[in-house]
């Protein structure tokens, strides 16, 4: 009996507490956190920051928009200029082609004669080692006939003689564009590769040269030298045998044999 009384008191206390909470619950629900000064201040700061960022973005956009617009207009003008230039070039080529058809036989023969004279003069200057004037003459010949292989060969040779290997390489590569089977161009590119210490590339170029001119003693000599330096005994032996057949009087044969035996 006495044990029940404390329990009853506890239950009554809980009931009173629940009654008070239930009565105050609508007030708690209606309580606005934003009414607290600190919360209002934080919300105001956030809004100020957002507005400031928006203003800053608008300001930056107003500054860079004209720049992008200017760049876009510039590129558009450049594209139009390029199109106009290409159209003008095509028109000039069309007119030039039409004009070339109208060249008389006499005019053509005169042009050919002039070209031969210019190349002959260039060759003479090259033999005299007057390379600057020879170069100008060969370029003049190329101006008269842009596809004249003799002029390109002569120009490449004077570059090669002066050890201007990069200019020589570009010139002989252009010769191959005009004639894929040009033996002299391949041989000269082989010499350039050998001068640069690239023995394998030199071999490859010289083998192509010999494919068009199989009995050329100079090309055989060059290939033999490259093969020995590349320590390619098989290619060197085969090339030496061909050289003995083609040019048995070659004074370098004994020297080549010694070098080959040392591989």
Note whether 168 and 156 are within 8 A (CB).
Answer: yes
Model confidence pLDDT, tens digit, residues 146-198: 889 999 999 999 999 999 999 999 999 999 999 999 999 999 999 999 998 99
165 burial class (0-12, 13-18, 19+ CB within 10 angstroms)? Answer: middle
Considering 139, 174, 209, which residue would you say is the last residue of a domain? 174
- Considering the domain architecture, whether residues 133 and 118 belong to the same structural domain is answered as yes
Model confidence pLDDT, tens digit, residues 27-65: 444 444 444 455 455 656 566 666 666 776 666 666 666
b or e along 122-157 (b: 16 or more beta carbons within 10 Å of the residue's beta carbon)? bbebbeeeeeeebbebbebbbeeeeebbbbbbbbbb
Asked if residue 38 belongs to a domain, the reply is no
Tokens of 49: 């920051």
Q: Look at the chain and report how many structural domains it folds into.
A: 2
Give the residue ranges of DSSP H helices in 102-164: 105-127, 131-144, 149-161
Of 222, 218, 199, 219, nearest to 209 by C-alpha is: 219
Note whether 186 and 212 are within 8 A (CB).
Answer: yes
Whole-number mean pLDDT of the chain? 77
Asked if residue 78 belongs to a domain, the reply is no
Q: How far apart are CA 116 and CA 165, in angstroms?
A: 27
Domain that holds residue 259: 181-263
Instruction: Say if pTM beats, i.e. exceeds, 0.85.
Output: no
Asked if residue 19 belongs to a domain, the reply is no
Q: How far is CA 263 from the centre of its chain?
A: 40
Q: How far apart are CA 173 and CA 192, in angstroms?
A: 12
Report, as an integer, the average pLDDT of 68-94: 60
Asked if residue 244 belongs to a domain, the reply is yes
Q: How far apart are CA 242 and CA 206, in angstroms?
A: 14
- Most distant CA atoms of the chain, gap in Å: 146
């Amino acid at each position: 009996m006495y044990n029940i009384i404390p329990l009853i008191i506890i239950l009554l206390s809980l009931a009173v507490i629940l009654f008070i909470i239930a009565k105050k619950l609508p007030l708690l629900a209606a309580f606005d956190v934003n009414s607290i000064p600190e919360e209002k201040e934080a919300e105001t700061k956030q809004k100020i920051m957002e507005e400031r960022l928006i203003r800053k973005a608008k300001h930056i956009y107003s500054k860079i928009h004209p720049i992008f617009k200017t760049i876009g207009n510039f590129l558009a003008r450049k594209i139009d200029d390029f199109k106009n230039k290409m159209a003008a070039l095509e028109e000039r080529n069309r007119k030039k082609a039409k004009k070339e058809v109208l060249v008389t036989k006499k005019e053509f023969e005169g042009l050919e004669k002039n070209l031969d004279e210019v190349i002959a003069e260039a060759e003479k200057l090259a033999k005299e080692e007057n390379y600057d004037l020879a170069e100008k003459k060969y370029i003049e010949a190329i101006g008269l006939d842009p596809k004249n292989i003799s002029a390109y060969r002569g120009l490449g040779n004077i570059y090669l003689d002066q050890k201007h290997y990069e200019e020589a390489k570009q010139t002989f590569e252009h010769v191959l564009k005009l004639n894929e089977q040009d033996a002299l161009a391949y041989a000269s590119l082989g010499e350039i590769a050998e001068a640069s210490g690239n023995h394998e590339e030199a071999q490859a170029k010289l083998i192509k040269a010999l494919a068009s001119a199989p009995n050329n003693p100079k090309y055989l000599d060059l290939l033999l030298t490259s093969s020995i330096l590349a320590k390619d005994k098989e290619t060197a032996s085969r090339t030496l045998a061909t050289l003995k057949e083609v040019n048995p009087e070659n004074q370098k044969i004994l020297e080549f044999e010694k070098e080959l035996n040392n591989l």
